Chain A
């Protein structure tokens, strides 16, 4: 139950921080509005979502074959493909590539998989430097934080907080709270880093099996820098990112940029199919693709939870989540926050560690409604609530049954027994009516912000009978 106590502490801290709440409220309202404006035609949106869901579902069903095809095509194109079952293996692969090139400096484009691997931490422990180049990632790296949103990692910070952080870390740059000035400062600082770096690392948005192409969506140009300027490019991705055909990319791209930030298209869409060829004058001479499993194949095995692998990481579910908007990304304590995080993270890192996350939802359904690939998020949250208390030992989710409480199980057993036995039920409600005066005014957390419920003197059944309703 420790995870629950820690989670509640983080939530309390977040809720009591007006600045943080304001930052999230403003940002999420903006993102919701932008998304809504980007999809003016609701029918077209629905059709596009169905296409997106089918493209992703098709890619998942054919995943083993597509991964082999991707590997074959990438290899033919000159991209070196590596497979990692665990994050340890993936980190090791990256380190070995760096060592082979006697590289010590890495420049990174935004990659949630590298966050999942805790790659920076791993490489720094080996004496290497890793610099994040996405503006948001750079800001949180300066402050030794983790992303609070998968698309906008520094969304929890106000411009004043960022200005102070810049002042502290780069005292030579004049203090400014002007967003464009701060952005230009980051440009200046990072330009030198792109120039020097031995290795560039990126994530992958879609990996196309048909052509062996790695697709990256971005606005800043740092993704292009990381994949173009250093002599070695390493792309890390989860195995679920593979899609079958090049023709599958345009609908997914459309859904991704519009759902994420309301853009009709990102500034850059970068498609990489090979390292520098003879005669070409720039680009990395080596391109590596690291395919990471880390429990994805376990999720894959479950008929229902399988759907969570359709995710294209747009962040719309968190932007629309009333819980996320109020508590922010860090309160979740997981790498990916919000509804999709509450579904994926417990499956990757165990219900014993993250079982509390599926309960951090009102099940209002907003996440499921906006998901561009129609992941039934509320249903999956519900399913994981069940997984963590079931005790039949037949599920495949890690930490299954770990949150089961004997007391709670007994209460539900009694409840279902009472509801299955009319005599007991009648006796029980009558007794409750008689004892209504002694119900305590304080019932745990419920009455912290609410008044205690009062049991009516007569049950609904009793009132109905008095009104002359017949039971049958």
Chain B
């Protein structure tokens, strides 16, 4: 095994001496966008790939979530009781009627994989930040809000804070100092899953969520 490693590295090194280093300039200029421009670009880009974006206030986003869940006739909604969204969600659900069942399983997914795969209608998660330029959310899944929440249920509802909008992906990496420690999984998500593998025609809802709903807290 390590023989393969040594052979490969030796072959690469054998001819490497004469290769001149590349003068690589990594300075990146970030666009000069205002908060409004960032919000505008983010919403526009996300909507262009069929993401349903709702701008909401800090006080009423959970109400909007309840309203949408009702409207979409969700049977249940997966959420993280120990996550950052729990309190407002629980408060609205306690007060509301005819809302989908709130589901939570604070154990390893392996134990309830079947339910997750075939019985859960929707999941709501927080996001770390987002990118205005291309319209993408950044998620660093946590033990409370695991990776499969934003992947397996047919509907993913994500809460994005407008204050956490970066201009570009490069800005996000630099400002959040990603190089000082990457999580198990970091994700950019820009819309519901899609494919153009048949005749280059876009079809939404392939293996990931069929619908992506963003609640943007202005």
A residues near B (Cβ < 8 Å) are: 23, 26-27, 30-31, 51, 54-55, 57-58, 61-64, 67-68, 71, 77, 82-85, 89, 133-136, 139, 152-155, 157-159, 162, 179-180, 182-184, 186-187, 190-191, 194-195, 210-213, 219-222, 224-225, 228-229, 231, 239, 245-251, 253-254, 261, 264-277, 279-283, 291, 293, 297-298, 300-301, 303, 306
Contact pick for A229, options B148, B168, B169, CB 8 Å: B148
* In contact, B11 and A300 (Cβ under 8 angstroms): yes
Contacts A89-B4, A220-B206 supplied; 20 other A-B pairs, CB < 8 Å? A27-B200, A31-B200, A83-B8, A139-B197, A183-B205, A187-B206, A219-B196, A220-B195, A221-B206, A224-B147, A225-B151, A225-B208, A239-B8, A246-B182, A267-B189, A271-B185, A273-B182, A273-B183, A281-B143, A300-B15
* In contact, A183 and B188 (Cβ under 8 angstroms): no
* In contact, A58 and B143 (Cβ under 8 angstroms): no
Nearest-CB residue, chain B, relative to A223: B207
Q: Given A183-B206, A301-B11 in contact, is the A280-B196 Cβ separation under 8 Å? A: no
Cα distance, A184 to B203, chains bound together (Å)? 9
Q: Which of A62, A182, A224, A273 has the most chain B CB within a 10 Å cutoff?
A: A224
* In contact, B146 and A282 (Cβ under 8 angstroms): yes
Nearest-CB residue, chain A, relative to B45: A264
Cα distance, A261 to B113, chains bound together (Å)? 34
Q: Decide yes or no whether B95 CB sits under 8 A from chain A.
A: no
Q: Is the interface of A mostly helix, strand, loop or mixed?
A: helix
Q: Decide yes or no whether B34 CB sits under 8 A from chain A.
A: no
Nearest-CB residue, chain A, relative to B149: A282
Which A residues are in CB contact (< 8 Å) with B174? 247
Q: Given A183-B206, A221-B206 in contact, is the A301-B14 Cβ separation under 8 Å? A: yes
Closest 10 CB pairs of A and B: A221-B208, A136-B197, A221-B193, A269-B188, A297-B11, A221-B207, A282-B109, A58-B22, A265-B134, A220-B206
* In contact, A271 and B187 (Cβ under 8 angstroms): yes
* In contact, A267 and B49 (Cβ under 8 angstroms): yes
* In contact, A67 and B203 (Cβ under 8 angstroms): no
* In contact, B12 and A63 (Cβ under 8 angstroms): yes
Min CB distance B146 to A, Å, is: 4
Which A residues are in CB contact (< 8 Å) with B9? 64, 67-68
* In contact, B194 and A219 (Cβ under 8 angstroms): yes
Cα distance, A249 to B197, chains bound together (Å)? 25
* In contact, A85 and B4 (Cβ under 8 angstroms): yes
* In contact, B170 and A250 (Cβ under 8 angstroms): yes
Cα distance, A264 to B25, chains bound together (Å)? 23
Q: Decide yes or no whether B93 CB sits under 8 A from chain A.
A: no
Nearest-CB residue, chain B, relative to A154: B197
A-B contact pairs, 14 of them (CB 8 A): A62-B21, A135-B206, A154-B198, A158-B199, A162-B198, A182-B198, A182-B203, A220-B208, A228-B148, A246-B179, A264-B135, A268-B193, A273-B186, A297-B12
* In contact, B19 and A277 (Cβ under 8 angstroms): no
**B18-37 vs A, Cβ < 8 Å mask (1 yes, 0 no):** 11111111101000000000
How many chain B residues touch the partner (CB < 8 A)?
Answer: 78
* In contact, A179 and B24 (Cβ under 8 angstroms): no
Q: Given A152-B200, A280-B143, A297-B11 in contact, is the A213-B182 Cβ separation under 8 Å? A: yes
Within 8 A of A (CB), among B125-183: 131, 133-136, 143, 146-148, 151-152, 168-170, 173-174, 178-179, 182-183
Which A residues are in CB contact (< 8 Å) with B182? 77, 211-213, 246, 271, 273
Cα distance, A368 to B191, chains bound together (Å)? 32
* In contact, A228 and B185 (Cβ under 8 angstroms): yes
Cα distance, A437 to B1, chains bound together (Å)? 69
* In contact, A273 and B151 (Cβ under 8 angstroms): no
Min CB distance A301 to B, Å, is: 4
Contact pick for A58, options B2, B21, B199, CB 8 Å: B21
Min CB distance A450 to B, Å, is: 34
* In contact, A219 and B206 (Cβ under 8 angstroms): yes
Cα distance, A264 to B101, chains bound together (Å)? 37
* In contact, B12 and A64 (Cβ under 8 angstroms): yes
Min CB distance A41 to B, Å, is: 13
Which A residues are in CB contact (< 8 Å) with B178? 211, 246
Q: Decide yes or no whether B16 CB sits under 8 A from chain A.
A: yes
Min CB distance A126 to B, Å, is: 20
Nearest-CB residue, chain B, relative to A23: B199
Contact pick for B189, options A247, A268, A273, CB 8 Å: A268
Which B residues are in CB contact (< 8 Å) with A61? 16, 19-22
* In contact, A269 and B136 (Cβ under 8 angstroms): yes
Min CB distance B207 to A, Å, is: 4
Q: Decide yes or no whether B5 CB sits under 8 A from chain A.
A: yes
Cα distance, A184 to B163, chains bound together (Å)? 36
Q: Decide yes or no whether B184 CB sits under 8 A from chain A.
A: yes
Cα distance, A158 to B199, chains bound together (Å)? 6
Q: Given A221-B208, A276-B184 in contact, is the A64-B173 Cβ separation under 8 Å? A: no
Which A residues are in CB contact (< 8 Å) with B18? 303
Q: Decide yes or no whether B60 CB sits under 8 A from chain A.
A: no
Cα distance, A219 to B178, chains bound together (Å)? 24
